[in-house]
């Protein structure tokens, strides 16, 4: 096999997960790593999503790294450009630039069971790595539904995460498809400019007011001068959300109270009872992500907005047709239809120890060990893996828990020394997922009566964590070696002969023998 550049760790993606992994690796004293990024700059979802109104619905002081507090957040809920700038700042502050390889899309990666390492084909060539940390994120590949006739639409078509800033929406008739977190931010932002906005709503969302305001100069000064005040602010935001979790996971009935608040929020802006009825969800609040906006309903009440309470079915020329037969003339179609979450395209590009892709291994549903590692994929882990999503708090908390796990994974490998690998035992993966799915049964995501992207094609919830972020933090503090098979390359010669570990199973021993044979020859 041709010799390629070799690194200890290849991180894929440079969003919050990938940059966080890079910082953590450096802090662990590991500098022999690269961050492979397919785009020409860092930032992940906060680079790709630049649609008008794009902002985070988690408060900034919580939606940031605990190790990189930002006393200068301009608003309680910061906009995309500030979050993106924050990630650029983190990249510089922690000296990550030398590790980052832009325009290095990963095309394919294969586990080399003889050498116990990954061979990674990128857009710029091949390299090998002992460990892969896949931080591609669940919200990276836009999903546009297969709509008959879309190809023949004479106007403009784009997805919320691929906004065409050169296209002038002023005076246009726009069909907005979807009513998720992205769409409800887009609608009020473009409504004043367009001639006509028709919103195709397949399922109405629950929308609560967003208490957004500018953070005053005094507050920022305080956070700069007395950093513990920023920490206290973060702690408070964290604590409030932590207390809310059991309503989502154990007592969905309690969420009924919030529904009244959401209905009042709607009634304030939407005076027409018929339109209110159209906009009122019929499932328990929280079953789908609770959306935060104080401008969505006021925008829907404007004269140039129409709501079609039906999904998009087909396109006939410039006519956009809903499932209920409603026809709308449009100059542009904007898809706010979400992402490939439970069928991540990166999974097609990872070939594991058994010669199958991660997508094949996960064909009946994604499953991992502690949201990180997967059976059949040694020395591979993912950040924001299966069942690590949150319904009400900051994903950065979960990412940092996964970074703890990654750091301990690397420590364990270092202790093993030489060329070694840790492979999640299928029994451990199954046991973890049984526990997760058992807990999932009572949650609002499974009992709330909605269909959401949290559920996969089989109706299984493989995306959300059915507990508190603190519980996940505890579950990912250390790698439990009993949950892994240890694999080692046994070299010829007394000086390099590896000792088998007590945990090694027969299958591992067999692999070791094969590896030993190969390397001896």
C-beta of 338 vs 466, nearer to ligand NAP: 338
How far from 294 is each of 269, 283, 298, 392, 431, CA to CA, in Å? Answer: 10, 21, 8, 18, 43
SS3 193: coil
C-beta of 146 vs 502, nearer to ligand NAP: 146
SS3 7: strand
Q: Using CB under 6 A as the criterion, what x/- string covers residues 436-475 for binding ligand NAP?
A: -----------------x----------------------
Shortest Å, Cβ 255 to ligand NAP: 17
- The rounded distance, in Å, linking the Cα atoms of 219 and 24 is 29
Q: Does 179 bind ligand NAP (CB under 6 A)?
A: yes
Q: Does 289 bind ligand NAP (CB under 6 A)?
A: yes
393 CB burial (10 A radius; 0-12, 13-18, 19+): buried
CB 184: neighbour CB atoms within 10 A?
26
Phi, psi of 121 (to 5 degrees): -90, 125
Give the residue, chosen from 200, 283, 296, 409, that forms a contact with ligand NAP under the rule CB under 6 A.
Answer: 200
- The rounded distance, in Å, linking the Cα atoms of 464 and 445 is 8
Shortest Å, Cβ 459 to ligand NAP: 14
**DSSP assignment, residue 402?**
H
Q: Which part of the chain contacts ligand NAP (CB under 6 A), choosing from 28-36, 199-207, 345-353, 495-503?
A: 199-207
Q: Which part of the chain contacts ligand NAP (CB under 6 A), choosing from 54-62, 90-98, 108-116, 485-493?
A: 54-62
Shortest Å, Cβ 256 to ligand NAP: 21
Give the residue, chosen from 202, 276, 340, 491, that forms a contact with ligand NAP under the rule CB under 6 A.
Answer: 202
Give the residue, chosen from 41, 76, 126, 203, that forms a contact with ligand NAP under the rule CB under 6 A.
Answer: 203
Tokens representing residue 92 in the block = 């510089």
Shortest Å, Cβ 304 to ligand NAP: 20
Give the residue, chosen from 177, 187, 270, 330, that forms a contact with ligand NAP under the rule CB under 6 A.
Answer: 177
Shortest Å, Cβ 51 to ligand NAP: 9
Q: Does 180 bind ligand NAP (CB under 6 A)?
A: yes
Shortest Å, Cβ 178 to ligand NAP: 3
Q: Does 160 bind ligand NAP (CB under 6 A)?
A: yes
Phi, psi of 175 (to 5 degrees): -100, 115
CB 422 within 8 A of CB 479: yes
The bridge status of strand 106-112 relative to strand 117-122 is antiparallel
3-state helix, strand, coil in the chain (%, to 5): 35, 20, 45
* Binding residues for ligand NAP, total number by CB under 6 A: 25
Binders of ligand NAP among 321-360, rule CB under 6 A?
336-339
Shortest Å, Cβ 173 to ligand NAP: 17
CB 210 within 8 A of CB 233: no
Q: Does 183 bind ligand NAP (CB under 6 A)?
A: yes
Give the residue, chosen from 23, 87, 181, 420, that forms a contact with ligand NAP under the rule CB under 6 A.
Answer: 181
- The rounded distance, in Å, linking the Cα atoms of 158 and 156 is 7
- The rounded distance, in Å, linking the Cα atoms of 493 and 482 is 29
Closest CA to 143 of 101, 178, 191, 107: 178
Give the residue, chosen from 69, 149, 298, 311, that forms a contact with ligand NAP under the rule CB under 6 A.
Answer: 311
C-beta of 362 vs 453, nearer to ligand NAP: 453
Q: Which part of the chain contacts ligand NAP (CB under 6 A), choosing from 195-203, 234-242, 407-415, 478-486?
A: 195-203
**DSSP assignment, residue 347?**
G
CB 357 within 8 A of CB 110: no
C-beta of 265 vs 337, nearer to ligand NAP: 337
C-beta of 210 vs 425, nearer to ligand NAP: 210
CB 308 within 8 A of CB 328: yes
C-beta of 58 vs 444, nearer to ligand NAP: 58
C-beta of 55 vs 486, nearer to ligand NAP: 55
Give the residue, chosen from 91, 122, 134, 182, that forms a contact with ligand NAP under the rule CB under 6 A.
Answer: 182
Tokens 């992205």 sit at which residue? 182
Q: Which part of the chain contacts ligand NAP (CB under 6 A), choosing from 17-25, 180-188, 325-333, 473-481?
A: 180-188
- 516 backbone φψ class: left, alpha, beta (φ>0; ψ -120 to 50): alpha
Q: Which part of the chain contacts ligand NAP (CB under 6 A), choosing from 7-15, 176-184, 458-466, 475-483?
A: 176-184
Q: Does 56 bind ligand NAP (CB under 6 A)?
A: yes
- The rounded distance, in Å, linking the Cα atoms of 224 and 69 is 10
DSSP sequence for 383-402: TT-TT-B-SSS-HHHHHHHH
CB-based contacts of 238: which residues, under 8 Å, 6+ apart? 62, 393, 394, 397, 469
C-beta of 160 vs 265, nearer to ligand NAP: 160
Give the residue, chosen from 30, 100, 139, 421, that forms a contact with ligand NAP under the rule CB under 6 A.
Answer: 139
The bridge status of strand 377-382 relative to strand 207-208 is unpaired
C-beta of 63 vs 94, nearer to ligand NAP: 63
Tokens representing residue 266 in the block = 């709607």
Residues interacting with ligand NAP, by CB under 6 A?
A: 55-58, 139, 145, 160, 177-183, 200, 202-203, 289, 311-312, 336-339, 453
């Amino acid at each position: 096999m041709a010799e390629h550049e070799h690194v200890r760790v290849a991180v894929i993606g440079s969003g919050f997960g990938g940059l966080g992994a890079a910082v953590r690796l450096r802090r662990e004293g590991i500098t022999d790593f690269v961050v492979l990024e397919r785009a020409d700059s860092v930032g992940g979802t906060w680079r790709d999503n630049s649609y008008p109104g794009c902002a985070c619905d988690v408060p900034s002081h919580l939606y940031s790294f605990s190790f990189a507090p930002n006393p200068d957040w301009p608003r309680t809920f910061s906009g995309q450009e500030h979050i993106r700038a924050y990630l650029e700042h983190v990249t510089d502050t922690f000296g990550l630039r030398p590790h980052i390889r832009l325009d290095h899309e990963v095309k394919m990666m294969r586990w080399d069971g003889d050498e116990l390492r990954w061979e990674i084909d990128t857009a710029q060539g091949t390299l090998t790595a002992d460990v892969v940390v896949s931080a591609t994120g669940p919200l990276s590949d836009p999903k546009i539904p297969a709509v008959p006739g879309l190809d023949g639409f004479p106007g403009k078509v784009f997805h919320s995460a691929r906004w065409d800033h050169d296209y002038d929406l002023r005076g246009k008739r726009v069909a907005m498809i979807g009513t998720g977190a992205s769409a409800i931010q887009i609608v009020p932002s473009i409504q004043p400019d367009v001639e006509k906005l028709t919103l195709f709503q397949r399922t109405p969302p629950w929308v609560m007011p967003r208490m957004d305001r500018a953070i005053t100069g005094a507050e920022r000064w305080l956070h700069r001068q007395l950093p513990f005040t920023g920490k206290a602010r973060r702690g408070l935001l964290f604590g409030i959300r932590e207390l809310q979790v059991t309503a989502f996971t154990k007592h969905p009935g309690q969420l009924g109270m919030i529904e009244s608040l959401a209905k009042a929020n709607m009634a304030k802006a939407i005076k027409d009872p018929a339109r209110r009825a159209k906009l009122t969800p019929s499932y328990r609040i929280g079953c789908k992500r609770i959306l935060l906006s104080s401008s969505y309903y006021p925008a829907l009440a404007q004269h140039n907005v129409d709501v079609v309470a039906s999904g998009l079915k087909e396109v006939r020329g410039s006519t956009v047709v809903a499932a209920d037969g409603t026809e709308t003339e449009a100059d542009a179609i904007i898809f706010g239809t979400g992402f490939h979450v439970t069928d991540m395209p990166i999974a097609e590009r990872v070939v594991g120890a058994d010669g199958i892709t991660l997508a094949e291994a996960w064909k009946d549903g994604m499953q991992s060990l502690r949201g990180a590692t997967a059976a059949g994929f040694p020395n591979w882990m993912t950040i924001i893996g299966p069942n690590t999503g949150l319904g009400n708090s900051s994903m950065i908390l979960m990412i940092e828990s996964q970074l703890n796990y990654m750091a301990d994974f690397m420590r364990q490998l270092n202790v093993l020394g030489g060329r070694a690998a840790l492979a999640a035992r299928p029994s451990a993966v199954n046991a973890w997922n049984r526990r997760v799915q058992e807990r999932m049964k009572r949650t609002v995501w499974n009992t709330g009566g909605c269909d959401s992207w949290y559920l996969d094609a089989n109706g299984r919830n493989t995306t959300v964590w059915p507990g508190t972020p603190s519980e996940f933090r505890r579950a990912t503090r250390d790698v439990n070696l009993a949950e892994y098979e240890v694999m080692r390359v046994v070299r010829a010669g007394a000086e390099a002969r590896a000792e088998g570990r007590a945990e090694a199973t027969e299958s591992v021993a067999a692999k070791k023998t094969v590896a030993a044979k190969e390397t001896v020859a």
